[in-house]
Amino acid sequence: MTDTTPTEAGSTSLHTNDAAKARLKARYAAERRFKWMGAGAVALSGLFLVILLSTIVTQALPAFRMNYVTLPLDLSAEQVDMENLSATNFSGIVNDAIMGQFPSVEGRQEQRALRGLVSTGAPTLLRKALESGEVEAGDTRQVALPLDDFSDLYLKGLVAKDGGREALAAAPQIVATDGAAEITFSDRSVVELAREAGAIEEDGVLRLTSGASSLLLQADGRIVKLLEVQAADGGATATGNVLLSDAPQVSDEAAIRIVETPESQRKFTDREIVWVDSLTAQGLTESRWNEIFLFSGASREPEMAGIWGAVVGSALTMLVTLALAFPIGVAAAIYLEEFAPKNRLTAIIEVNINNLAAVPSIVFGLLGLAVFINWFSFPRSAPLAGGFVLALMTLPTIIIASRAALRAVPPSIREAALGIGASKVQTVFHHVLPLAMPGILTGTIIGMAQALGETAPLLMIGMVAFIVDVPGGFTSPATVLPVQIFMWADFPEPAFQQKTSAAILILLGFLVLMNAIAVVLRKRFERRW
């Protein structure tokens, strides 16, 4: 509304008195505030989106790489019977190879920890490599095997924070007996290191308890974990445990490796750190593209768990959902919008369709469980049952979007078609439907994207089951991406945290791909009038 005020000559003029100017100024100020608030809302949303994506990407990236250890495996005829691989002790071959790298390791517990550096899935991968011809049987072969999850995480820097190395001015004297060592240092620099590591001082002795950082002395071909440090005349003395007595020297100079994360706060011991560092120093470890994660099925072992089974399960489930929901939804929309009489019955149907779009998704899961699983005896945990349930959930969205797209076509199109003698069916399918197709496809993709991210209805029909194999068809046991993410997020192993974020990235990629297809189809069918 425009403000007008009377002038002295009796005519009206715009914004000439102080009140009108004040109101005009207030309106302009309100407009500016609205613009700034809108821009602020957009910026805040963008900030949260950036934080979300950066957090997911940062956590997910380590999952796309995996560390392997190359070991000399005895694949001679005495160990491997190519005619009867099921009788071959592949676990024994792998265990002997890793034990051969550290012959000084004794004791049942230590040997078991050493064998645990290599993934428990390594024997199975070795057998598959022999069956496929990727690895040939013979004498001793250098074969790369996956490390276990904690060794892998350690090499990625996600288990123990590295505090660096402090070089010593002179090599200390080490006297080792039965795994215990007494060390004499020529200076007192180790005393300051012990204090900085959080050692507890009692009677002049600095004790590196479980709450302190680990100090690993590397000298004289040994690696010794320092336990107690004490200042002495002109230098210092220390006691410790010999973790490795035949370690390859990382460098020629004596040094103290600092592991800032106390041993009590991690599930990867100092001894395991020393073993992995030794393998790395010998050039036996390498980081590779994680093909196991990308092309394998699920597993209880984090390093052997893959996403491919869930990707295939999601694709099969979406195919079933699309094949059911799209033709039925579009047909229902065409009938209700173009052919159905406008009476109380169609009004009731329209209201119920709108209400169904707002029903919680788990209700559709209960319906699918009762109808498809219990009544029609569909295979449980299969893409067929999941697709039917998600189709029920998606139908209202497709119907509503399709009716809106049909309604948006100008009446002149229908009148022109009818005017030149086209029947009602010809008018709808030859002229109205093609023009409405971009809007219909947009609504369909929105419904499919919602279905792809649903978890609750699929839990009700058993798609949360632990499925190891990649599904081979619509009736095979399978899981889907959101359910796989839900399961991994609940596992306590730290390696599953990275895999959960990586699976979320793949799910987002799946959605982006679907939206890209929708954009291409919309452009292809788009018409201007």
pLDDT digits (tens, 9 = 90+) for 11-22: 555 567 888 888
Contact 71, 93 (CB under 8 A): no
Encoded tokens for 217: 């002395």
Report the alpha-carbon distance of residue 431 to residue 140 in Å, rounded. Answer: 73
Specify the pLDDT at position 361: 87
For 349, residues 6+ apart whose C-beta sits below 8 A from its C-beta are 336
Mean pLDDT of 492-520: 88
Q: Residue 515: is its pLDDT beyond 90?
A: no
Buried b (16+ CB within 10 A) or exposed e, 335-373: ebbbeeeeeeeeeeebeebeebbeeebbebbebbbeebb
Q: Residue 484: is its pLDDT beyond 60?
A: yes
Q: Give the CATH fold of the 303-525 domain.
A: MetI-like fold (1.10.3720)
Mean pLDDT of 23-32: 93
86 φ, ψ (degrees, to nearest 5): -65, -20
Q: Residue 414: is its pLDDT beyond 60?
A: yes
Identify the residue whose tokens are 């380590």: 62
CB atoms within 10 A of CB 18: 9
Number of residues that this document lists for the chain:
529
Report the alpha-carbon distance of residue 273 to residue 276 in Å, rounded. Answer: 5
Number of H helices, E strands in the chain: 18, 14
Nearest to residue 256, comparing CAs of 149, 323, 351, 167? 167
Q: Do the strands 12-14 and 4-6 form a parallel or antiparallel pair, or are they unpaired?
A: antiparallel
Amino acid identity of residue 108, one-letter, is R
Between 340 and 16, the more confident residue is 340
Mean pLDDT across the chain: 88
Identify the residue whose tokens are 């809106």: 404
CB atoms within 10 A of CB 281: 14
Specify the pLDDT at position 523: 80
Dihedral sign of CA atoms 318, 519, 359, 49 in order: positive
Specify the pLDDT at position 244: 86
Specify the pLDDT at position 459: 84
**What percent of the chain has a predicted confidence (pLDDT) above 90?**
49
Specify the pLDDT at position 9: 47
Mean pLDDT of 55-84: 90
Contact 290, 64 (CB under 8 A): yes
Q: Where in the chain is the domain with CATH 1.10.3720.10?
A: 303-525
Specify the pLDDT at position 270: 93
Mean pLDDT of 220-235: 88
Residue 142, beta-bridge partner list: 72
Mean pLDDT of 165-177: 87
Tell me which DSSP letter residue 118 carries: B
Report the alpha-carbon distance of residue 298 to residue 296 in Å, rounded. Answer: 7
Between 134 and 9, the more confident residue is 134
Report the alpha-carbon distance of residue 146 to residue 282 in Å, rounded. Answer: 17
Q: Where does the pLDDT of residue 2 fall: very low under 50, low under 70, confident under 90, or very high at 90 and above?
A: very low
Specify the pLDDT at position 15: 61
Predicted confidence (pLDDT) per residue in 382-391, tens digit: 899 999 999 9
Encoded tokens for 94: 């792998």
